[in-house]
Amino acid sequence: MSKFVFVTGGVSSSLGKGLTASSLGRLLKCRGLRVTMCKLDPYINVDPGTMNPGEHGEVFVTDDGGETDLDLGHYERFIDESLNRNSNTTTGSIYKAVIEKERRGDYLGKTVQVIPHVTDEIKERVRRLARDDVDVVIVEIGGTVGDIEIVPFIEAIRQFRRDVGRDNVCYIHLTLVPYLVPSGEQKTKPTQHSVTELRSRGIQPDVIVCRSDQPISDGLKRKISLLCDVPIEAVVSAVDASSIYEIPLVLYDQGIDGYVCRTLGIDAAAHPIDLSNWEALVNRVESVERPVRIGIIGKYVNLPDAYLSVVEALRHAGFHHGVKVVFDWIDAETVPDLLGSERLHILDGVVIPGGFGERGVEGMVAAAAYTREHEIPCLGLCLGLHVMVVDAARNLAGLENANSSEVDSLTPHPVIDLMDDQLDVTDKGGTMRLGAYPAMLVPGSVVARAYGAEVVSERHRHRYEFNSRYQGRLEEAGLVCSGTSPDRRLVEFIELPQDVHPFWLGTQAHPEFKSRPDRPHPLFRELVGAALERAEGREPPLFDVDLLDTVR
Ligand code: GLN
């Protein structure tokens, strides 16, 4: 039978609950246990697909087309398993299901209430993940203990231990131990308060993970142990790490995985840990020094979490090449003013990521043209492919005012257009092409050589497609359509041949979702490889520290 770990957070949001949960997942996997993960999100959206990425961060897409919380990206990258839409549940999706059941008459005669109907639905979502091939289900509860919206979730996970038995559940509570400069001390009071809040809902944590910038002393651990009623070895000091990939090692040093196994009645000795691969990865991460400067030209650059998987995929590629990827976040709207400036010129590579709506698109088209003309390696992701095609249409094929009809519905040349008929979409609420789709690559193309394969599968999230009516004209102008859907109706990859440009490639998909720290995605690997060549080709090497203030 599967065991369950519930991870809650207190004191403050953004303490890294997702990374803590993911890191524990990695450690348990390194012990040979089979792990799956899920996130319970207390907000009312049915899924995060309708939220602004500039506010909430990236929408992570699973193979089955689930639009999910960005923490699922961390889960996949850390536990190296592909998850599905069942791994993310929101208050909205719970209520939607409960209300549908009520309308169907499933609760006929009953008053439908938070307890038991909503809590039963939450428990059912968690229970669903427990399969024969899963030893441990790790469940992260979004939000912070004390939030209004979190209460039904806390109640559901409280009941869960009664339902499945004490030894099958472990509660981990993550808190903040701040350092107060005036008194020169680390403070445990916020932790005490947040544990009190959790207890008031009937949950006594088994493990307390304390986030802090300095390690927590044994004295402080003793204090937390006494006041919060957990054994001292269950007070874990999770000090800030220099890379997120180091966190599993930080937690391992604190013995968290062994303790969780004991709580769950898993014989840790029968599952010895093998951390060698992860340690090798972290050594690689720490040894990268040579900088490669990548510009991310998008519209949500004020919140880098909006491009979380893109950033991680670039980092993974950097680990592979032994280089440190330095990011320059460039607001697409400012690009027209930057043309000809040092800021663009010194980029070693560019990513034009996905996005929706009109704002910033002209700047992205200008950026695509600039990288093409100045031989700067460029990777376009989804909207990125769209703007590359628009640039090729206008500037290579001479199609004046060519555009995507998403941006200009009256364009004389809608080189990117809605293809609803091809997609056989009947439900207007779900007009996006979502999830994994296969593509066939042209043998010998840049993309086929990068993947080392001719059939690939990538995740999608978009409405607009390359308009195949223009394919002939664009190809005559030099653009290569190097990958299509198996029926050849949809263009999935475009590129310039390598004798024309070192690397200029766009994909209709979001390959960033499939990159793993020890297995960089081939397209990001090739982009960073080409960027490294550009960086090395500079005489003298150009890396102006003064310009680093543009880098976050
Ligand atoms: N807005 C574009 C579309 O819907 C691109 C979407 C994206 O970049 N994910 O097709």
Q: Give dist(CA 183, CA 162) in Å, integer.
A: 43
Mean pLDDT of all residues in 466-480? 97
User: 551 CA to middle of ligand 1, Å?
Assistant: 26
Distance of CA 461 from the midpoint of ligand 1 (Å): 7
- Whether the CB-CB separation of 310 and 353 falls below 8 Å is answered with yes
What pLDDT is attached to residue 287?
86
Q: Which atom of ligand 1 is nearest to the CA of 461?
A: 9
List C-alpha distances in Å: 214 to 21, 135, 176, 460, 521.
Answer: 21, 34, 11, 41, 35
**For residue 433, what are the β-bridge partners?**
462
CB 88 within 8 A of CB 37: no
Is residue 508 within 8 Å of residue 462, measured between CB atoms?
yes
Q: Which residues pair with 459 in a beta bridge?
A: 436
* Averaged pLDDT for residues 246-258: 96
What would the pLDDT profile of 58-87 be if each residue is shown by its tens digit?
A: 999 999 999 999 999 999 999 999 999 999
pLDDT, tens digit, 9 for 90 and up, residues 276-331? 999 999 999 888 888 999 999 999 998 989 999 999 999 999 999 999 999 999 99
List, in order, residues 6 or more apart from 189 with CB less than 8 Å away.
none
Number of H helices, E strands in the chain: 20, 23
- Report the pLDDT averaged over residues 247-264: 97
Among residues 34, 22, 14, 45, the alpha carbon closest in space to that of 129 is found at 34
What pTM did the predictor assign? 0.94
For atom 8 of ligand 1, which residue has the closest CA? 354
DSSP alpha helix (H) spans, 335-408:
335-338, 342-345, 361-373, 383-391
Q: Where are the alpha helices (DSSP H) in 461-511?
A: 471-476
CB 298 within 8 A of CB 353: yes
pLDDT at residue 538 greater than cutoff 90:
no
| Whole-number percent of the chain with pLDDT over 90 | 89
Residue 475 token pair: 């190809």
For residue 539, what pLDDT is reported?
A: 63
- Please name the residue whose Cα sits nearest to atom 5 of ligand 1: 383
Ligand 1 center from residue 357 Cα (angstroms): 8
Which active-site residues does the annotation give?
A: 382, 510, 512
Position 55 pLDDT exceeds 90: no
User: How far, in Å, from the CA of 406 to the mean position of ligand 1?
Assistant: 9
Residues within 6 Å of ligand 1 by CB: 354-356, 382-383, 406, 461-464
Question: How many whole angstroms from 34 Cα to the centroid of ligand 1?
Answer: 35
Q: Which mutation among 463, 465, 492, 513 tests ligand 1's pocket best, with the greatest number of atoms within 8 A of CB?
A: 463
User: Across 235-311, where does the E strand assignment appear?
Assistant: 235-239, 290-298
Rounded Cα distance between 150 and 366, Å, is: 45
Q: Which of 370, 378, 299, 368 is nearest to 334 (CA)?
A: 299
Q: Which atom, in ligand 1's list, is nearest to the CA of 460?
A: 9
pLDDT digits (tens, 9 = 90+) for 338-359: 998 899 999 999 999 999 999 9
Dihedral sign of CA atoms 435, 436, 442, 447 in order: positive
What is the model's pLDDT at position 228?
95
Does the pLDDT of residue 454 top 80, yes or no? yes
Angstrom distances, CA of residue 106 to CA of 73, 90, 97, 109: 35, 21, 11, 9
331: helix, strand or coil = strand
Q: Of 254, 202, 251, 248, whose CA–CA distance to 231 is shortest?
A: 254
- Residue 432 alpha carbon to ligand 1 centre in Å: 9
Closest ligand 1 atom to Cα of 416: 10
3-state secondary structure of 272: coil
**Spacing, Cα 59 to ligand 1 middle (Å):** 12
What residue's CA is closest to ligand 1, atom 6?
A: 462
CB neighbourhood size of 483 (10 A)? 28
pLDDT at 549: 41
Kindly list the strands in the beta sheet with 414-418, ordered across the sheet, starting from the edge strand earlier in the chain. 403-404, 414-418, 464-466
* pLDDT confidence band for 27 (50 / 70 / 90): very high
Give yes or no for residue 100 having a pLDDT over 50. yes
Q: Name the residue of 464, 466, 491, 512 whose CB sits within 8 Å of the most ligand 1 atoms, as the mutation to test its pocket.
A: 464
Higher pLDDT, residue 11 or 505: 505
394-410 pLDDT, tens digit per residue, is 999 999 999 999 999 99
Cis before 414 (ω within 30)? no
pLDDT at 541: 54
Contact call for residues 494 and 506 (beta carbons, < 8 A): yes
C-beta atoms surrounding 99 within 10 Å = 12
Residue of 52, 58, 67, 386 best suited for mutating to test ligand 1, as the one with most atoms within 8 Å of CB: 386
How does the average pLDDT of the chain come out, rounded? 93
Pairing status of strand 290-298 against strand 349-352: parallel
Per-residue model confidence as pLDDT tens digits over 141-200: 999 999 999 999 999 999 999 999 999 999 999 999 999 999 889 999 999 999 999 999
Tokens of 164: 């499945």
The pair of three-digit structure tokens given for residue 455, joined into one six-digit string: 């059939």
Confidence of residue 425 (pLDDT cuts 50, 70, 90): very low
- Collapsing DSSP to helix, strand or coil, 360 comes out as coil
Nearest CA to ligand 1 atom 7: 354
Distance CA 505, CA 482 (A): 9
For residue 542, what pLDDT is reported?
A: 56
Q: What is the structure's pLDDT at 9?
A: 97
Work out the angle at residue 478's Cα, subtended by the Cα atoms of residues 331 and 347, and round it to the nearest 5 degrees: 30
Strands 290-298 and 235-239, bridge-based pairing: unpaired
What pLDDT shows up at residue 552? 39
Q: Ligand 1 pocket test: which of 405, 406, 416 has the largest number of ligand atoms within 8 Å of its C-beta? A: 406
What H or E segment, with its residue span, contains residue 436?
A: strand 433-441
What amino acid occupies position 159? Q
Average pLDDT on 255-276 reads 96
For the chain, give the longest Cα–Cα distance.
Answer: 80
